[in-house]
Homo-oligomer: A and B are copies of this chain.
Amino acid sequence: MPTIGKRTAQRLALYLVKASQDEVAALVDAIVKMKQSVRFCSECGALTEQEVCSICTDPRRDHSVICVVEEPGNVMRIESTGEYRGLYHVLHGRLSPLDGIGPEDLALDRLKKRIKDLGITEVIIATNPNVEGEATSNYIAQTLKPLGVKITGIATGVPIGSDLDLADEITLARAIKGRGEIK
């Protein structure tokens, strides 16, 4: 399991051995219930306990913008910023030739259908800014271009609160290249 190494696993196991029968039963129950109730939204692919998630059904959100992310966790991360008020589309993966994940595995037909059905005007591609994420971003941009929708990508650059000296060279080069006018 992610973030749980040998030492942490051992610590957790010993904790459970010491815990009361009730506590262990409650944990098992919670895991089973979670697994039964949480599913992927049939619209966007994010996590939900309903058929369609609360973001897709929220009339106060902007239904003309869609943000494409790799995993359901990314939706929660972007939601926590409070900066974005549109819809999402979760790919549940990224192009990864080494792992045998090709374009056909990304199920872009469903994304294309949503863009047409919802009358989307802007697609924000928010895949991870690494090699596989950027390849995925490029592929999606090329695929969606014929639809005539505006396609944007989240900004890459030096993180806020950081220091130029801490930024790696590629990030710094991109930050200089992607500089914006200060009004």
Chain A interface residues (CB < 8 Å from chain B): 67, 69-70, 73-74, 77-78, 80-84, 124-126, 128-131, 137-138, 141, 150-165, 167-182
Using A74-B165, A179-B154 as known contacts, say yes or no to A160 and B130 having CB atoms under 8 A apart.
Answer: yes
**Is A158's CB under 8 angstroms from B155's CB?**
yes
Residues of B within 8 A of A125 (CB): 182
Please give, as numbers and ranges, the residues of chain B lying within 8 Å of A126 by CB-CB distance.
164, 176
Main secondary structure of the interface of A (DSSP, over half): mixed
State whether A179 touches B153 (Cβ < 8 A): yes
B84 touches A162 (CB 8 A): no
A70 / chain B contacts, CB cutoff of 8 Å: 164
Provided the pairs A153-B179, A176-B124 are in contact, do residues A160 and B77 lie with their beta carbons within 8 angstroms?
A: no
Contact B152–A182 (Cβ < 8 Å): yes
Instruction: List 18 additional A-B contacts (Cβ < 8 Å) besides A78-B164, A83-B177.
Output: A81-B169, A82-B173, A84-B176, A125-B182, A128-B164, A129-B160, A129-B162, A130-B161, A138-B182, A152-B180, A154-B158, A154-B172, A155-B155, A155-B180, A156-B159, A157-B158, A159-B167, A160-B174
> What is the minimal beta-carbon distance from A6 to any residue of chain B, in angstroms?
23
Most chain B beta-carbon contacts within 10 A, residue among A137, A158, A165, A173: A158
